[in-house]
Amino acid sequence: MAKTFSGGIHPPECKKQTEDKPFIHFPISERLVCLMSQHIGIPAKPIVKKDDKVKRGQLIGEAPGIVSCAIHAPTSGTVVAVEPVVHPLGRKMDAVIIQPDGEDAWLEDLGKSRGKIKKLTAQEILKIIQEAGIAGMGGATFPSHVKLSPPKDKVIDTLVINGVECEPYLTCDHRLMLDFAEEIIKGTRLIQAILGVKEIHIGIEGNKPDAFAKLQEAASKEETKDIHVHLLKVKYPQGAEKQLIKAVLNRDVPAGGLPMDIGVVVHNVMTTYYIYRAVYFQEPMTERYLTITGDGVENPQNLCVRIGTPISKILEYARLKPGSKKIILGGPMMGIAQYSTDVPVTKGTSGILVLQDVADMEFENCIRCGACVDHCPMKLVPSELSITLQRGRVDLAEQYHLMDCMECGVCSYVCPAKRPIVHFVKLGKAQIMKQRKAKGAK
Amino acid sequence: MPEENTTQVEKLYTVTSSPHIHKKISIPWIMWMVFICLLPAGAVGVYVHGAKALWVILISIASAMIAEYTCQKMRGVKVTLSDGSAAVTGLLFAYCISAENYWYVVVAGSFFAIAIAKHAFGGLGMNIWNPALAGRAFALASFGYIMTAVWPISANIETMSGNPLPTSGATPLRCLKSSAEKSISLATSKEAAKYTDILGETGKETWAKIKKQEATHWMDLFAGTISGSLGETSAAMLLLGGIVLVCLGIVKWYLPFTILATTAFLAWMLPVKVGWYNPATGASGMDVMWFSGDPLFHILAGGCMLGAFFMATDMVTSPITAKGQVIFGIGIGVLTVIIRLYGGYPEGVCYSILLMNTAVPLIDRYTKPKVFGGRS
């Protein structure tokens, strides 16, 4: 029996259309929109103004705190505006808009091999990662340097690398593991140097046996045999940190806690790869790999795209079919639907999914079938949450562990009454955060 | 240019919260699957009881659907006749009453099931009791005679065992219960000697005689060639429908299993009182028989199969977790056997399910799953 966690679902994978397609480098658009908020935490502060000339990799947004990320120019060119634009989350947020000059010139030594990697201390590597502005690229976009600096009282003994890619449709992590297995292993060594962990585990789902083989081969070439590659049962949401740790290590992260509470740090394969690039090639985050797919495009692909590329350009390239109804950034289970194609690619854009059909928005009363309870990976009672939240009883929902929900969408997926449970949960959580803020202000 | 871009937005795309894909399952699919799985048992009912059974089924479904339509119109909510839930309630109500019935009993019971037991509580998903069983309880309280004493006599049907159908029309459960009671009164009467065909020389012997006479037509109980409620007679067809529901994932196997297992075990274990008479000595008395019931008879007879697979498993009125469903199933089994052996009615499935329905919120409260990574 392949390792896994309890609960979860196995939706149609829909990965066939892109899993065999190698990456294509997407041309630099004539306009790059660099949002100052591409991560969880405080938005970066723009430090350039209109008409400034910038080079690729140049700092254009400064991180004002620890839980924040620096933003860099994705190519060389001229700043044409610093203004609020539509963010993938719906609101308008500050962005630096760059008109490329076509030269794509790196700033000074950036992009060149660093050399003397072995001599770098843990603190130096951490500083490089922080300055490169790397945020978790699986979609959550938590600043990587924060994850890599656990408080002194937490002893971290294990590193888990997330190569699960459990969201249907997406294949960019899969392709990345095939193309850059050795680089990913080098990246894990850098993280190991910072955290001082003894064991490294890499989790990959059973539908990517080729990636599993590549990484196992790369791991076996290493002198020390402390990297374990696991082929896991195909099940959503195995890529969620707590579920991945359960599947690979059979350890339970305490409710309301973080993986570091049980001595584990999890990083996505693509984050690991970009940590490698930042340290070995002095590259800040200027690009990322993503999948454009869905039944709404004629030419689904895996692409390497500059950050800030408007998704309208990518949709044009992938030949958006007329009559497509939904454009989603991320996967179909947790991705965010967009009303406009003006939004740019950010550090967290793992995919662009175009769907031709939209599910019926009407929903019924809960018939207490229990499917959501059977499948909830967090062992909640989603039916109860949705009923109490529908009635506006946020206080009661909080008692029913509302804040432990990770919004994976499993409950809504299996619901025969088509109840928008995740929607209720998101609203309820926002309300609680508001109340807490108000309490804190007093 | 920014100005150009804002004017270029010709079309806005649909925005909803995630997830953006859904499993192909819906309430109408569930309800109509239950409906289809119920049909074979009804077909046997119509074969055994004749055309009047078909009328009872049709009247019951029609009343339920009319009640659903009326209530939804009155409440000003969406009319959902096509989701099949009213049709299933109507069909289930018809199945748990006698085919020999007055049309107005059928109409009243079916109407009560939908209007009072379901819509007065807020419609589908909000009801506390299984609507069909609440309708049956209502009919039993209101029309006691027709609901308990009149059973169709279908002498023209050949039974599987070759034994004739009881001409009184009484159901097997009633026969068993009344025979045991009768043996006590006979044994203690002065004319005990006249009834050696019923009374044995010991309690054990009497019990064996009773069981042989009244309760061993397993094949008939299985096939449905017995007298009883319209759709409850054929254990085989109910089992078939129930297994299909389990395979479709609509019913979890452990709920019917715990009901049937608990019923069988307790029916075998719990004591029955029987009278005896010894013609040689002229002595008579009463014995308490432990561990001697007929488990197979009890799960095949009466409403046990229908209740276990189609009534107790009603999603709305059963607990939401596996643990809760097991507790719920054991409760139903216990109450069923207690009512059957010691209660005022020969059959107890209906009331035991209704009683356990009432306990569902309590069961749910104490069987909540432990949050992932939670301490208690």
Tens-place pLDDT, residues B52-75: 899 999 999 999 999 999 999 999
Reading phi first (left if > 0) and then psi (alpha if -120 to 50, else beta), residue A114 is in: alpha
Scan residues 134-173 of B and list those with Cβ closer than 8 Å to A. Answer: none
Nearest by CB to residue B320, choosing from A337, A368, A412, is A368
Q: Do B321 and A334 touch (CB under 8 A)?
A: no
Dihedral of alpha carbons A193, A194, A195, A200, sign: negative
Query: What residues of B are in contact with residue A421 (Cβ under 8 Å)?
Result: none
pTM value?
0.91
Element (H, E) at A131: helix A122-131
Query: What residues of A are in contact with residue B123 (Cβ under 8 Å)?
Result: 365
pLDDT value at position A431?
Answer: 93
Of B83, B93, B108, whose CA–CA distance to B32 is shortest?
Answer: B83
Percent pLDDT > 90 in chain B is: 57
CB A234 within 8 Å of CB A204:
no
Give yes or no for B280 touching A (CB within 8 A).
Answer: no
Query: What residues of B are in contact with residue A420 (Cβ under 8 Å)?
Result: 16-17
Give yes or no for B10 touching A (CB within 8 A).
Answer: no
Give yes or no for B107 touching A (CB within 8 A).
Answer: no
Residue type, B26: S
> A85: which 2 tokens?
């634009």
The CA distance from A89 to the nearest CA of chain B, in Å, is: 11
What is the Cα A289 distance to its own chain's centre?
11
pLDDT value at position B171?
Answer: 77
Nearest-by-CA chain A residue for B19: A333
B320 versus B12: the higher-pLDDT residue is B320
Distances (CA, A) of B106 to A212, A379, B34, B42, B151: 65, 44, 21, 16, 15
pLDDT value at position B1?
Answer: 40
Q: Do A83 and B2 touch (CB under 8 A)?
A: yes
Burial call B67-97: b when 16+ CB within 10 Å, e when fewer: bbeebbeeeeeeebeebbbbbbbbbbbbbbb
Nearest by CB to residue A361, choosing from B2, B16, B27, is B16
Query: What residues of A are in contact with residue B375 (Cβ under 8 Å)?
Result: 254-255
Distances (CA, A) of B60 to B55, B106, B134: 8, 6, 14
Nearest-by-CA chain A residue for B324: A370
Question: What would the pLDDT profile of B101-140 be if each residue is shown by its tens digit?
Answer: 889 999 999 999 999 999 999 999 999 999 999 999 999 9
Q: Do B373 and A383 touch (CB under 8 A)?
A: no
The CA distance from B146 to the nearest CA of chain A, in Å, is: 34
Nearest-by-CA chain B residue for A255: B373
Q: CB contacts < 8 Å between A and B, how many?
A: 162
For residue B194, the 8-state DSSP code is G
Question: Cβ–Cβ contacts within 10 Å for residue A274, how many?
Answer: 28
Which ipTM score applies to this complex? 0.90
The CA distance from A125 to the nearest CA of chain B, in Å, is: 33
What is the Cα A384 distance to its own chain's centre?
29
Angstrom distance (rounded) from CA A6 to CA A8: 7
Question: Cβ–Cβ contacts within 10 Å for residue A374, how many?
Answer: 19
SS3 B165: coil
Dihedral of alpha carbons B141, B142, B145, B148, sign: negative
Nearest by CB to residue B125, choosing from A81, A338, A366, is A366
Question: What would the pLDDT profile of B160-176 be if each residue is shown by its tens digit?
Answer: 555 555 544 567 787 78
CB A114 within 8 Å of CB A281:
yes
Query: What residues of B are in contact with residue A401 (Cβ under 8 Å)?
Result: 371, 374
Over range B261-289, report the average pLDDT.
89
Scan residues 17-36 of B and list those with Cβ closer than 8 Å to A. Answer: 17-23, 25-27, 29-30
Query: What residues of A are in contact with residue B316 (Cβ under 8 Å)?
Result: 367-368
Angstrom distance (rounded) from CA A53 to CA A398: 50
pLDDT value at position B350?
Answer: 93
Interface test with B, best of A367, A375, A410, A429 (most B CBs within 10 A): A367
CB A307 within 8 Å of CB A270:
no
Angstrom distance (rounded) from CA A154 to CA A260: 7
Angstrom distance (rounded) from CA B231 to CA B212: 25
Angstrom distance (rounded) from CA A437 to CA A18: 44
Question: Checking DSSP bridges between strand A158-163 and strand A264-268, what pairing results, if any?
Answer: parallel
Omega within 30 of 0 (cis) for the link into A237: yes
pLDDT value at position B159?
Answer: 59
Element (H, E) at B142: helix B131-142
pLDDT value at position A140?
Answer: 82
Which stretches of chain A drop beneath a pLDDT of 70? 1, 442
**pLDDT band for position B277 (50/70/90)?**
confident
Angstrom distance (rounded) from CA B132 to CA A218: 64
Kindly list the structural domains of chain A, giving each domain's residue range(s) and its CATH number in brackets, ordered by start.
24-110+284-355 (3.10.20.600), 111-281 (3.40.50.11540), 371-441 (no CATH)
Nearest by CB to residue B371, choosing from A340, A359, A401, is A401
What residues pair up with A327 in beta bridges, in sequence order?
A: A338, A354
Query: What residues of B are in contact with residue A166 (Cβ under 8 Å)?
Result: none
Longest CA pairwise span in chain B (Å): 116
SS3 A338: strand
Burial call A189-200: b when 16+ CB within 10 Å, e when fewer: bbbbbbbebeeb
Question: What would the pLDDT profile of B331-356 be if each residue is shown by its tens digit?
Answer: 999 999 999 999 888 888 999 999 99
What is the Cα B11 distance to its own chain's centre?
55
pLDDT value at position B11?
Answer: 67
pLDDT value at position B375?
Answer: 67
Burial call B2-16: b when 16+ CB within 10 Å, e when fewer: eeebeeeeeeebbee
Q: Per-residue pLDDT for B154 more than 70? A: no
Nearest by CB to residue B19, choosing from A361, A368, A409, is A409
Of B131, B134, B135, whose CA–CA distance to B101 is shortest?
Answer: B135
Burial call A146-159: b when 16+ CB within 10 Å, e when fewer: bbbbbeeeeebebb
Q: Do B320 and A415 touch (CB under 8 A)?
A: no
Residue type, A370: G
Residue tagged 């009890």 (tokens): B298
Question: Cβ–Cβ contacts within 10 Å for residue B338, how many?
Answer: 14
